Amino acid sequence: MDLTEFGAGAQYIAGRQSRGSGEPFQVVNPADGSVVEQVTLASTDQVDAAVAAARAALPGWAGTTPGARSEALTRLTAVLTDAAADLAQVETAQTGKPVKLATEFDVPGTIDNTAFFAGAARNLEGKAAGEYSGDHTSYVRREPVGVVGSISPWNYPLQMAAWKILPAIAAGNTIVLKPAELTPLTSLMFARACTLAGIPDGVVNVVTGAGRTAGEHLVSHPDVAMVSFTGSTPVGRRVAELATATVKRTHLELGGKAPFVVFDDADLDAAVHGAVAASLINGGQDCTAATRAYVQRPLYEAFVAGVAELYGAIRLGDPRDPRTDLGPLVSHVHRDRVAGFVERARSYATVVTGGSAPEKGHDGTDLTRGAYYLPTLVTGAAQDSEIVQGEVFGPVLVVLPFDSDDEGLRLANDTPYGLAASAWTSNVHRSLRATREIAAGCVWVNDHIPIISEMPHGGYKSSGYGKDMSQYSLDEYTQVKHVMFDTTAVARKDWHRTVFGDR
C-alpha cells in the first residue's frame, strides 16, 4: 500500500479508501496555487457508514488486551518511521509550512506520540482494590467510552490527527476523524498506516467533508459517544451545543492568545530569539504561538529593536527549500484575514516592520502567487484593541510595555483565552509567581512553544477543556466504573434496617 496514492479518494472507511459522494474539492498548495489533489467531499451517508464501521469494530477492539493494543501501536510507530519523508513532503505541499518544520517537528513529534501511546496503552490506572466500606471489596475499571467522533484543524493536520486517534484507540475506543477539508492528505496517510500496522478495519476511519455537513452530522450522530474537537472558540461553542443535545462527552481544544511576559531581569537576547521563534512557528498559525509580548519598561525599546532586526532577516520562500524559514499561510483567504487585522490596527497602532505581502523570496523567487505575509511587529496598541485581544493566527506579534510585576501579570491574564503563556526572568520567585498566577494550561519559563508527549496540552477559560497527549489524555477517553463485591455473605444486613423493619 502506497501511503501517498490518493487516486482512490479522500474517505477511509472500514479499512478501504473511497471517493466521497458530495461536492468536488481541490486541495491547493498555498505556495503557488497549484492543485495537490482533486477530491470529493463526504456526504452525510458516508459519515453514517463510517460510524457504523466504527461501531461494528468496537466490541472486538475494546475486548483486545492492552498488551495487544500496545503491540499494534508499536508496529504503527515503525510504519510511520518508514514513511517519514513522504509524510513531511505531503504535509508541506498541503499546508505550505516549511519542509524543515515538517521534517524536524511535525513528523518526528507524531512518531514520538505514537511510541508514547504504545506504552501508555498498558497503563490504565485506577484506585487500588480494597475494603473501603469494611464489608465490601471495591475496585475501579477503566473502560472505553465507545465510538469517538473527532474533528481536527488545518494548521497541524498530521499531528492533530495523531493527537485525536492515538489516545482514543489506545484506550480501546474506535474513531471517526473528520480532518479539515483544506488539508486531509496526511490524516488519510495516517489511517492507511494504521491498516498496514495490523489495526483492524473500522477502528480508525476518516471522512473528509465540510464542517456544516459532515462535521455537524458526525457530532450529532446518536451512535457517537464522545466528541473531540480542535479549532476556533466560536466553532467549539457550536460543537458543544450539538453534542449537548445527545449528552455526549466533549473534549475541546480551542483558540489562544498566548502572552509572552518579559521581566526586567530577563536575558534579553534569549527573550528576543524566543519571541521570534514562538511568534513565527508555523507562520504564527498555532494556538500556542506568542502573540502578545509584555515587556517591562527598562527592556522594552531594546526588545522591540531586537525583534524587528531578526524579523528583517527571516527567509521567506518556497517551503520545499530547506533554507526557507517562513512559508505561506494556509490560503489566500486566511492571508487576507490576517492582513485585515494589521490594516485596521494602523489607525491606532504602529506597524514597526512587515505588514504586507512580499513579492520576492529570500533567493529572488516570485512569491506573488502564494499566500505569503511578512513577519509583522506592532507597537503602540491599547490593551483593549482588536489586535491585542483578537486571535490573528498569523506571523504578527504585538508588543506592549508594563511597569510593575502586578501590572504585567494582570495584562497577561486580560484575555478570554488561557491555552499557553511564557515568563522570562532570572528570578526564581518571579518565575514561581508567574507560573502560579497566569491562567493557562501551559506556562513555560525562559522558553515558549516546546511540547513533549509525556506532558498534557489543554486550556483554561475560552480555550476549552480536556487534555491532549500524556497519560492525562487517556482519562478523556475512558469511562470509570466502580465495581463493589459484598464480602460478608450475610443475607439480612444491618443497613437494610434503615429502609424497613427494626433492628
**How far apart are alpha carbons 277 and 219 in whole angstroms?**
36
Name the catalytic one among 216, 253, 391, 476: 253
**Coil, strand or helix at 247:** coil
The grid coordinates listed for 224 are 457517537
91 included as an active-site residue: no
Using CA atoms, how far residue 340 sits from 335, 347, 358, in Å, is 9, 12, 16
253 included as an active-site residue: yes
The grid coordinates listed for 37 are 489533489
**How far apart are alpha carbons 325 and 273 in whole angstroms?**
14
Name the catalytic one among 216, 287, 391, 476: 287
Using CA atoms, how far residue 206 sits from 190, 244, 257, in Å, is 10, 23, 30
For the purposes of burial, counting CB atoms within 10 Å of the CB of 289, is it exposed (0-12), middle (13-18) or buried (19 or more)?
buried
Element (H, E) at 472: helix 470-476
Among all chains, which residue has been given the C-alpha cell 476556533? 232
Among all chains, which residue has been given the C-alpha cell 490527527? 161
Using CA atoms, how far residue 362 sits from 92, 101, 156, 351, 476, in Å, is 18, 17, 25, 22, 45
Q: Within 121-249, where are the H helices?
A: 157-170, 185-196, 216-220, 233-245
Please list the active-site residues: 253, 287
